[in-house]
Structure 1
Amino acid sequence: MAVKNSYKRFIIYIVASIVVVTVYFLSNFFKNKNAANEISPPDSLFTEPLMEYGIETDSFAVYKAVVSPNEFLSHILTRYNVPYANIDKLTKTSENVFDVRKIASGKKYTVFCTRDSLQRAICFIYEPNEVDYVVFDMRDSLHVYKNSKPVEKTIKTSYGKITSSLYEALANTPQGNMLAAELANIYAWTIDFYRLQKNDWFKIIFEENTVEGKSVGINKILACEFYHYGKTFYAFNFSFENSNEYYNEKGESLRKAFLKSPLKFSRITSGFSMNRFHPVQKRNKPHLGTDYGAPQGTPILATGDGIVQEAAFKQYNGNYVKIKHNSAYSTQYLHMSKIANGIKQGIAVKQGDVIGFVGSTGLASGPHVCYRFWKNGKQVNHLKEDFPNTKPIPEKYKNAFMLLKDSLMPKLDSIYTDMPI
């Protein structure tokens, strides 16, 4: 009897355990089910709409192309079923924003069209460059506006070694031409880039502009070091108040009273010499100037501020301009193809003003400018003159400059080169 009762209790215990476990799992099942019902749908159902030029692309058929030669706005929009009347209104609407006559072949454009059978353009976007774009919006009312893509600035470094020219040294560098032009501008008062020597070298720290991961240009050079003729020339970009200039490591401006050359880009064809063989007269004679060979029509720049003393034609000089800078210095520019408009005796000119154009008038064997330099009434070799720097950084900004320079100098030093000093 006792055994029978024990067996019953065992069966009851087993059944009770099964019931408890079942209730536990069922309660958790319904609890999780209810919780699942309360969970928000996956994020994928709430993704942001795809945007381009500030326009939702999902709603439209999007076409991209480049402007063909001799193609105008009307040609493009009529292909996308825009009525001529609307094109005319759009052209007039854009007059104060963008001149549609400036739409150029090879430039990118995007057309947003309706998704119906007509596929009519409702937005036309033209890109004059890689950063800016013009929107011709025809959705509700016709309006035109300009905008720009987000530009990111990235600090980059570069270096080069001169074998033939500055451009060649940067030929394989992204934005190399722009870097070369910027270097030439920064050092226009301290380095004659037409006399670069083999094995001269340079290091650069610069800000590169990128749009959508693609390089679109140089924002500015932050610092650079140029080794030339056995000397090292530093340049650091520094801004204060309304000034933004380049200074050497001592805080002295790189600007001087005279540019090193009357041309931006060229090559020296004949240097200052007291006994140079004249290519036209076929005899040795003093050549009291420096010849800069350049293509016909290359702009010639005033190397310093001054007053035009002469602007005329003479048999041997050809078209020429002479400028008096102060009581000590004068400069002269010979063999111009023509003198620039407005340049005449008595006119004031500023450093860098275009005063004429390279040619071969007068006694010249080819297109060049003969640049002559007077100091206290005597012709001298301007390349050997050491002109003082212009105003240094004001004392109250000197500490800020030194901190900037001290932060950039190690970065310049860390740029690897195999170029011994």
Structure 2
Amino acid sequence: MKKYFALLIGALLFVACKEKRTLVSVDQPQPETPVSIYEFGYNLDDYLVIKDTIQKGESFGVILDRNHVGYPVINKIAATIKDTFDVRKLRAGKPYTLLAKKDSTEQGQVFIYQHNKIDYTIIDFTDSIIAQKVQKPVKYIEKTASGTITSSLSQTLDEQGLSAVISNDLSTIYAWTIDFFRLQKNDKFKIVYEEKFIDDSISAGIHQIKAAYFEHGGKPFYAFKFIADSTKMIEDYYDDEGKVLRRQFLKAPLKFNYRISSRYNLKRRIAIYGNRVRPHKGTDFTSPVGTPIIATANGTVTESRRKGGNGKYVKIRHNGTYSTQYLHMSKRAVKVGDVVKQGDIIGYVGMTGNTSGPHVCYRFWKNGKQVDPLKQKLPEAEPMKEEIIPVYLNSIVDMKSKIDSIVFTEISSEIAAR
């Protein structure tokens, strides 16, 4: 009997152990390990994350005060980082991220201001105060495009979903070769350009046009980007024979979004002076207030001031022959003695001085006498050295082949009929 009970108990224990092993061996769904989210170099799981945009009239101090940072600390932060970032220059509409403590205080620790899709400034005041300007990694993707003009270049690009920046860049590249205000129907273009991407899929805009072809009035115009002087490392555009496309001076002190409202005219009647004949020794380029005004050539700023009917203005001496002046600015961006390069922003369109509307009056001196810039035969920019031309021609062989192989985008019948 004892032996029987011993066998029975042993059997029961065996079954129990087997059942236990069976239960343990069954696959059970395991809890997933949470994946930490990193952005701007921080583990966002460690913080209370606040993402917002700068509101009109909102300041750095207001944002930090709202997130439990006292004004003595705010003032210390502003003073410490002023050489890296001026907190007074936050712009409405720009996104920002604030990282705060994950405790009852919810006190701000890090402020990240995004200037654009690529550039941002990190202000970390967790322990010590540190500010640094950072860029997100950027990938450059080469693309091609082409089109046939039906009414305007900008409309043709828009119909293809292409950036307006391309139109502005092309008009700059061909500024002295093609009059973009007088394009003809059926003019054609092809371009090879680079587009910037962040996070592999988010477009951050056009980087550069590497090469272009424009067929205007049945004539071909090539443009290839090239550094002809390795000592200066300045890129410029040259045609298929190695001739520089740019002139020493730009045609206009504004890049885009302008029209000429009044030309150089020594017999013009001016309403603001009682409709009397009064020489107008400038060319007026109308554009909205705040539009950037650019230097039309390299030079040194000789005047930056406000005076009478000129309002706020800047004058630049380019060499012993030429000087230019830019009147009626809302704000000047350079001071006397500054060296500026062609295309640098020197101020912004305004209505200061004697003016009836927002514009920049562009004045042009040659040998000390004011002349009409639109009638001057201005010199080309520095030409390519003779010994560099064979190197250049060899370097553009593949790119020219690529441009030539691009097929022009067909015009739809609906668009052609407009």
TM-score category of the 2 structures, normalised to the smaller one: 0.5 to 0.7
Q: 1:380 to 1:127 in 2, by over 3 A?
A: closer
Deviation, 1:161, is 3.2
1:255 maps to what in 2? 246
3-state SS of the aligned residue for 2:122? Answer: strand
Residue 182 of structure 2 aligns with an amino acid whose one-letter code is R
3-state SS of the aligned residue for 1:109? Answer: strand
3-state SS of the aligned residue for 1:158? Answer: strand
1:58 maps to what in 2? 45
2:205 maps to what in 1? 217
Taking the aligned partners of 1:326 and 1:124, their CA distance within structure 2 comes to: 50
Bigger radius of gyration, 1 or 2? 1
Q: 1:133 to 1:259 in 2, by over 3 A?
A: closer
Residue 144 of structure 2 aligns with an amino acid whose one-letter code is T
Cα pair 1:332 1:372 within 8 Å, conserved: yes
Q: 1:60 to 1:232 in 2, by over 3 A?
A: same
1:411 maps to what in 2? 402
Residue 209 of structure 2 aligns with an amino acid whose one-letter code is I
2:166 maps to what in 1? 179
2:308 maps to what in 1? none
Residue 95 of structure 1 aligns with an amino acid whose one-letter code is K
2:134 maps to what in 1? 147
Taking the aligned partners of 1:104 and 1:160, their CA distance within structure 2 comes to: 37
Residue 412 of structure 1 aligns with an amino acid whose one-letter code is I
Match of 1:120 among 97, 102, 107: 107
1:169 maps to what in 2? 156
Residue 247 of structure 2 aligns with an amino acid whose one-letter code is K
**1:79 equivalent in alignment to 2:62:** no
Deviation, 1:108, is 0.6
Taking the aligned partners of 2:63 and 2:164, their CA distance within structure 1 comes to: 34
- In the alignment, structure 1 segments of 5+ residues that lack a partner are 1-32, 34-41, 272-277, 281-290, 309-320, 342-348
Output one character per residue of 1:56-79: Cα deviation in whole Å (capped at 9) or x when no partner. 112122121111111111211122
**1:402 equivalent in alignment to 2:402:** no
Identity %: 33
3-state SS of the aligned residue for 2:45? Answer: coil
Cα pair 1:261 1:303 within 8 Å, conserved: no
- In the alignment, structure 2 segments of 5+ residues that lack a partner are 1-24, 271-282, 303-314, 333-339, 412-418
Taking the aligned partners of 1:200 and 1:162, their CA distance within structure 2 comes to: 5
Taking the aligned partners of 1:95 and 1:332, their CA distance within structure 2 comes to: 34
Q: 1:331 to 1:168 in 2, by over 3 A?
A: farther
Say what the alpha-carbon RMSD is for the aligned residues. 5.4
Output one character per residue of 1:343-375: Cα deviation in whole Å (capped at 9) or x when no partner. xxxxxx99779899899x99xxx989899999x
1:246 maps to what in 2? 237
Q: 1:332 to 1:144 in 2, by over 3 A?
A: closer
**1:392 equivalent in alignment to 2:384:** yes
Taking the aligned partners of 1:332 and 1:86, their CA distance within structure 2 comes to: 47
Deviation, 1:233, is 0.8
Output one character per residue of 1:255-314: Cα deviation in whole Å (capped at 9) or x when no partner. 23565567644457899xxxxxx999xxxxxxxxxx987448886976899xx9xxxxxx
Q: How many residues align?
A: 357
3-state SS of the aligned residue for 2:181? Answer: coil
Q: 1:373 to 1:167 in 2, by over 3 A?
A: farther
Taking the aligned partners of 2:100 and 2:349, their CA distance within structure 1 comes to: 50
1:206 maps to what in 2? 193
Cα pair 1:108 1:126 within 8 Å, conserved: yes
**1:189 equivalent in alignment to 2:180:** no
Output one character per residue of 1:306-339: Cα deviation in whole Å (capped at 9) or x when no partner. xx9xxxxxxxxxxxx9x99999xx9999xx879x
3-state SS of the aligned residue for 2:225? Answer: strand
Residue 223 of structure 2 aligns with an amino acid whose one-letter code is A
Cα pair 1:303 1:352 within 8 Å, conserved: yes
Tell which deviates more after alignment, 99-108 or 177-186: 177-186
Deviation, 1:201, is 2.2
Taking the aligned partners of 1:85 and 1:264, their CA distance within structure 2 comes to: 44
Q: 1:388 to 1:101 in 2, by over 3 A?
A: closer
1:159 maps to what in 2? 146
Taking the aligned partners of 1:267 and 1:237, their CA distance within structure 2 comes to: 28
Q: 1:292 to 1:415 in 2, by over 3 A?
A: farther
Output one character per residue of 1:368-396: Cα deviation in whole Å (capped at 9) or x when no partner. 9899999xxxx999789797774125524
Cα pair 1:252 1:393 within 8 Å, conserved: no
Cα pair 1:204 1:224 within 8 Å, conserved: yes
**1:226 equivalent in alignment to 2:245:** no
Residue 416 of structure 1 aligns with an amino acid whose one-letter code is F
Deviation, 1:138, is 2.3
Cα pair 1:331 1:372 within 8 Å, conserved: yes
Deviation, 1:194, is 2.3
Residue 210 of structure 2 aligns with an amino acid whose one-letter code is L
Taking the aligned partners of 1:206 and 1:84, their CA distance within structure 2 comes to: 48
Q: How does 1:82-121 map to 2 (within 5 A)?
A: 82-121=69-108
Q: 1:231 to 1:279 in 2, by over 3 A?
A: farther
Deviation, 1:101, is 0.3
Taking the aligned partners of 2:74 and 2:186, their CA distance within structure 1 comes to: 59
Taking the aligned partners of 1:169 and 1:142, their CA distance within structure 2 comes to: 50
Output one character per residue of 1:7-47: Cα deviation in whole Å (capped at 9) or x when no partner. xxxxxxxxxxxxxxxxxxxxxxxxxx9xxxxxxxx9x75x8
2:306 maps to what in 1? none
